[in-house]
Amino acid sequence: MTVHIAENELQILYADTDMMGVIYHGNYIKWLEIGRRQLIEDIGYDYLTMEKNGYLAPVHNVDITYDNPLKYGDKAILRTWIEENTGVRIVYGFEIVNQDGLICTHGTTTLLVVKKVDGKFKPVVFKRVFPEWFSKYEEIKVKK
């Protein structure tokens, strides 16, 4: 397989806007999760399986650049891909484009895989606990 980019059409609601009439910046975080979930499902995995095995994947870092505003009535496409896969952390790249193909927002989210031990979250090595999933990410990530 080559690079895989998951796509989601975003439904932009009036309730998503702020006083300036543009999409409130906090809504993007929710959309980024939608993109990650789509990518994971596209390749045959899911977070529920991870959780059933006792692991979680919390967001460690979010880096968002807002280039152009999205407004109510715009059509938007979210594209998500694997930017980096170190075996410990996973960096998902993303961009949101409007109906004119203009990049409105782009950036990355970094996730870790952890196991809850004695009430605390302990980071684990993703490639060790989910070797097939890790390998699939290696297969589809953006080549630099």
Phi, psi dihedrals of residue 54, rounded to the nearest 5°: 90, 15
Contact between 69 and 106 under an 8 Å Cβ cutoff? The reply is: no
18 in active site? yes
Predicted local distance difference test score (pLDDT) of residue 106: 98
Band (pLDDT 50/70/90 cuts) for residue 1 is low
Judged against a pLDDT cut of 80, whether residue 144 lies above it is answered with no
Sheet bearing 120-123, strands edge to edge:
55-56, 114-117, 120-123
Written as six digits, the tokens of 23 are 């999409």
pTM > 0.85: yes
Residue 1 placed within a domain: no
Number of domains comprising the chain: 1
Q: What is the pLDDT of residues 43-88, one digit of tens each?
A: 999 999 899 999 999 999 999 999 999 999 999 999 999 999 999 9
Residue 96 located in a structural domain: yes
Report pLDDT for 126. 95
Q: Is the pLDDT of residue 94 over 80?
A: yes
Residue 16 lies in a domain: yes
Q: Which domain holds residue 102?
A: 6-140
Residue of 18, 46, 63, 67 marked catalytic: 18
Classified as helix, coil or strand, 12 is: coil
The residues, any chain, with a CB within 8 Å of residue 37's CB and separated by 6 or more, are: 46, 47
Domain of 80: which CATH number?
Answer: 3.10.129.10
pLDDT tens, residue by residue, 118-136: 889 999 999 999 999 999 9
For 45-55, the pLDDT digits (tens) are 999 989 999 99
Number of Cβ within a 10 Å radius of residue 61: 12
Q: How far apart are CA 137 and CA 144, in angstroms?
A: 14
